[in-house]
Amino acid sequence: MIKPRVLIPCDVKTIGMHPFHAVGEKYLNAVAHGADAWPLLLPAWGDGTDLRSLTEHYDLDALLDNVEGVFLPGSVSNVHPQRYRGSTPDFTCDAQRDAAVFPLVETALTRKKPLFAVCRGLQELNVALGGTLHARVHDVPGMLDHRENDQLPREQQYDLAHDVDITEGGLLADILATRRIQVNSLHTQGIDRLAPGLTIEARAADGLVEAVSLPQSWALAVQWHPEWRFDSDPHSERLFKAFGEALRA
């Protein structure tokens, strides 16, 4: 049986003196083995150091004809604030990824392709549909510090950090069959104004939105990182299994 195919947009990373288009192995691993799908990497097609824009080079409808879904991975970069506030960033952005992701999200949702998003992916989905972001959640009065401790070893950075309360009757509650779970937390930005049409699926204790869905199609986004060692956490396994089932449906 041919496995479902999943588009995953790349980040642009500088290695040495050269820009490369890349996706973290943890995301590929979870999509391949958790959703039992074929991950296909999509270049970040905005203007780059060595790349002339590919915006007019791709036909997104034709591309989506040949895949079953889309996965938006996390990243150390952030959505450019001009996408939602019109301000100049003072943090790391990836305008090339933005150039690919926003039309990809719009077309995928119009085509009702299953979409699963993690961390930056949740933020992209919210901004794509008209929402805004907190640039630094930890600077917002009353909010927790949701960042990882970058002085710790990598494995400890992904330790469970706080609870999230899951909305009763939602897609996430249906997948996980529980009302509260513990999650890791490795992000600086988060949802400020929720985009029209999105449904809140989970919140942290400080009220920050931790998961959203789009009722009109199978679209789910979470702020934490279920891809990390997904097969050692039953909730993460269920998330990727549900994505795989949506792809096959």
According to DSSP, the β-strands at 162-166 and 180-183 are: antiparallel
Q: Is 75 exposed, middle or buried (0-12, 13-18, 19+ CB in 10 A)?
A: buried
CA distance 97 to 21: 9
Residue tagged 């990243």 (tokens): 75
Single-letter amino acid, residue 46: G
Q: What SS3 class is residue 93?
A: strand
Q: What SS3 class is residue 81?
A: helix
Backbone angles phi, psi at 41, to 5 degrees: -85, 135
What is the number of residues in the chain?
Answer: 249
CA distance 119 to 231: 19
What is the set of active-site residues? 119, 225, 227
Backbone angles phi, psi at 14, to 5 degrees: -90, 120
